[in-house]
Amino acid sequence: MSRITRADCEARDRADPLAPFRQRFVLPPDVVYLDGNSLGALPKAAVARLQQAVDREWGQDLIRSWNLHRWIDLPQRAGAKIGRLVGAKANEVVVADSTSVNLFKLLAAALRLKPGRRVILSEPGNFPTDLYVAQGLIDMLGGKHELKLVPGERIADAIDETVAVVSLTHVNYKSGRIHDMAAVTAKAHAAGALMLWDLCHSAGALPVDLNAAKADLAVGCGYKYLNGGPGAPAFLFVAERHQESIRPPLSGWMGHAHPFTFDIGYEPAHGIARNLCGTPPVLSMSTLDAALDVMLEADMKAIRAKSLALGELFLALVEQECGRHGFANGSAPQHERGSQVGLLHPEGYAIMQALIARGVIGDFRAPDMLRFGFAPLYNRFVDAWDAVAALKAVMDARAWDAPKFKTRAAVT
């Protein structure tokens, strides 16, 4: 195979149908940003929308904005937009709370829907919050239930009639490995269990079709590929067929059938709205809503094709440029992974810090993974080249081998 050059990467950028989207984002000129899988970049439209929400809606229209600017149904409006990205109907998704809180709400609701069953089934490689939330819920319910963990590749065979709900992250946060959503969901249903998917690393990164897979429940975050901003509100999905049976464990007034009659008794709203709890964070939800509009302009098939191409290019360049530096590939194979790749190296943390000092931003996942995410709306093929060139420079000069790069920060 002939050597890949930077000019080859530039040519691929020129031919890229998604290239014009890059200008829609605020990106520092001296940074190669490969961490959109953790915190998406800032869409210019989100800046304008936030300014409008602050200056006009909050500053001038004040509390009238709940009706005037429809703050009150922003969770449903933004949810409907996310529905288009994840194969759900407009009335099956709402934006609310954080992913962790939504997991709590939906796992609790799932256990109530399956009163005779005691197992929440997941995998040890799931994102820790998914496991912690399940543990906390089980503890709160008096220990009658059990969190059973089975490695991802064997999970489908472990679903039996004791399982109330199978709770999995669709795209693994480390390896990027994708579960077969339709196949696992079908297995869960065959055993009479419910299926809950965490879409944190899927929504906006690759085509997802919750309804084609007959998924029951799902959650996901707004700050990764959806570009909603740091701590952006999350979303949840409840398939229409379950919506009237769900008994929300966090029975707040925003999920009440008539919040403004101020009744003493709780009466759940019809439909997805009963999964809301308290007042929505209007400013961050407005930012997310504007970011979603940008993403909805793009073709998800083109996003997926570019994401796979960027990941493959990056791995090929690592082999070409850094082959002697001892990196192992920690990623799932191309068509089985989401929009990220991982390199394994015992000095991964220090190497990532040295890279960040050179303006190439990825992140580190313990114990030894350098993680690079590709956000096809704003990442270019030359970004892959420039990142690997910086990695080569860091490795050739052992630039990572300095005390300042070895002290762990609170966030890695």
Ligand X SMILES: Cc1ncc(COP(=O)(O)O)c(C=O)c1O
- Catalogue the active-site residues: 127, 198, 223-224, 371
Strand pairing report for 119-122 and 163-169: parallel
Which is nearest to 82 in space by CA: 63, 102, 67?
Answer: 102
Q: Which of 21/338 has CB closer to ligand X?
A: 338
Q: Which of 100/211 has CB closer to ligand X?
A: 100
Specify whether the backbone of 50 is left (phi greater than 0), alpha (psi in -120 to 50) or beta.
Answer: alpha
CB of 375 to ligand X, least distance (A): 15
The answer to whether 390 touches 32, Cβ cutoff 8 Å, is: yes
CB of 17 to ligand X, least distance (A): 29
Task: Find the length of the chain.
Answer: 412
DSSP lists the bridge partners of residue 198 as 169, 219
Which is nearest to 255 in space by CA: 241, 235, 239, 275?
Answer: 275
DSSP lists the bridge partners of residue 253 as none
CB of 352 to ligand X, least distance (A): 16
The answer to whether 237 touches 260, Cβ cutoff 8 Å, is: no
Contacts of 11 (CB under 8 A, 6+ apart): none
Query: Alpha carbon of 95 to those of 75, 132, 216, 285, 339: distances in Å?
Result: 5, 22, 17, 8, 23
Q: Which of 34/221 has CB closer to ligand X?
A: 221
CB of 201 to ligand X, least distance (A): 6
Q: Which of 103/282 has CB closer to ligand X?
A: 103
Q: Which of 24/179 has CB closer to ligand X?
A: 179
CA 135, 145, 240, 69 torsion: positive or negative?
negative
Query: Alpha carbon of 21 to those of 6, 24, 49, 154, 294: distances in Å?
Result: 21, 5, 18, 40, 8
What does the binding site for ligand X look like in residue numbers (CB under 6 A)? Answer: 98-100, 127, 129-130, 169, 173, 198, 200-201, 221, 234
CB of 174 to ligand X, least distance (A): 9
**Greatest extent of the chain over all pairs of C-alpha atoms, in Å:** 73
CB of 234 to ligand X, least distance (A): 6
Q: Which of 98/162 has CB closer to ligand X?
A: 98
